[in-house]
Amino acid sequence: MTRRMRATALVAATAMTLAACSGGDSAEDGTVELTMLAASYSDNTKRLWEEVIAGFEKDHPGVTVKLEMQSWENINDVIRTRVQSNEAPDILSIDTFAGYVEDDLLYSAEEVLSQETIDDFQDSFRENASVDGTQYGFPLIASARALFVNNDLLERAGIDEPPTTWDELYDAAKAVTEKTDAYGYGLPLGSEEAQAEAGIWFLGAGGGYGTPEKITVDTPQNLEAARFMKKLHDDGLTQPDAGATQRTPMLDQFIQGRFGMAMGLPPIVGMIEEKNPDLDYSIVDIPTKDGEKVTLGVADHLMAFRNDEDKAEQIGAFLDYFYRAENYVKFVETEGFLPVTKSGAEASTNEAMKPFLDLLPHARFYPSTSPAWATAQAAMQSQIGLIATGKDPKEVLAGIQAEIDNA
């Protein structure tokens, strides 16, 4: 019997049980209660989940969902305590899931989701949500990177088209720096998110961070990217303190017209509308060494815990309902992120997000399921900025690799 057939039988049996009962709590009246712990992205998150739950419960009598919201500051501590106390929620919304897979606590996608829902995930996000070829994470929201371009500054510098290659970006940054009062490119290699900025350039050279099985930073491709970043800085085409510059203040300065170009995320669109709605800007593909499309993708996930009481059918029914385009797109767009499903991307009406959506099929990810990734990320954040202080990029990458290998 397939999961869908079992679900149909379950609903019918539940309805019969309800008809035979006259009241009492959920254990007595035959209903099944799912518990859900979710991270809050904004003031809208709780309301959005409550709307999804209300619609689901209306369509699935006999199944209820008890929602608990937590801030990102608290949710890791909360779920850690719950798991240790054998009180894990049935459904969790958070970023990482690999540790729970290692402890054999999660259902796989095939055990709970319909094949239609599984096939609807963007292929790259589905792969990123898998461990040893089995999908355990259910991608929830996505963020990708693209190049934000100040159209006015490039026009004043005599640049007619946004760059698509490194050579074109260098020339555009040089023209902006020389012909306007702005820097050509904003290069944030400070500790806030240096692993992301550098990772974008690594990917643009055909490199990256390797695989969960083997994280590699000191590759020829990554060295070429590090040398190009250093050249942008050393030739005066970025801000002088690039090695200590944090992403958030740099993007604030881009919004105020201080940079010709900078890598940005979807929420920057809302920041521009709030802080400088008159800014004339474009969002374009990330320039790469050879012009090949690529982006750095980041995703948060839903996951389903394999608790003592088997609720796979009900969990699957709820998640299938949530990922329907008419429900899912409203959730994602209200939160200002990108949909991770193919149907969601097709149904999206947010034109400002289109450049990011077009890049999603080309997304590459951190090897975050590797136990060594935390060490790699910390080493990148603390050391990659040294290339903007005169240190040889080859030595910097070798030092980072040594920390990873010795972790």
pLDDT in tens, 265-303: 988 998 899 999 999 999 999 999 999 999 999 889 999
Residue with tokens 């894990």, as numbered in its chain:
88
pLDDT at 76: 85
Question: Does the pLDDT at position 12 exceed 90?
Answer: no
pLDDT at 21: 33
Question: Does the pLDDT at position 24 exceed 80?
Answer: no
The closest of 316, 315, 317, 351 to 333, measured between CA atoms, is 351
Interatomic CA distance for residues 243 and 106, integer angstroms = 41
For 7-50, strand residue ranges (E) read: 32-39
pLDDT tens-digit profile of 325-337?
999 999 998 888 8
At position 116, the amino acid (one-letter code) is E
Could you give the residue range(s) of every CATH 3.40.190.10 domain in the chain?
3-141+298-352, 144-297+366-405
Summarize the confidence of residues 113-140 as an average pLDDT.
Answer: 94
pLDDT at 29: 58
Q: How confident is the model at residue 30 (pLDDT cuts 50, 70, 90)?
A: low
Q: What is the mean pLDDT of the chain?
A: 90
Question: Does the pLDDT at position 26 exceed 50?
Answer: no
Q: How confident is the model at residue 214 (pLDDT cuts 50, 70, 90)?
A: very high
Interatomic CA distance for residues 395 and 266, integer angstroms = 34
What pTM was estimated for this model as a whole?
Answer: 0.78
Question: Does the pLDDT at position 16 exceed 60?
Answer: no
CATH topology of domain 144-297+366-405: D-Maltodextrin-Binding Protein; domain 2 (3.40.190)
pLDDT at 148: 98
Summarize the confidence of residues 378-391 as an average pLDDT.
Answer: 96
CATH 3.40.640.10 fits 3-141+298-352, yes or no: no
Least confident interval from 17-26, 98-107, 114-123, 379-388: 17-26
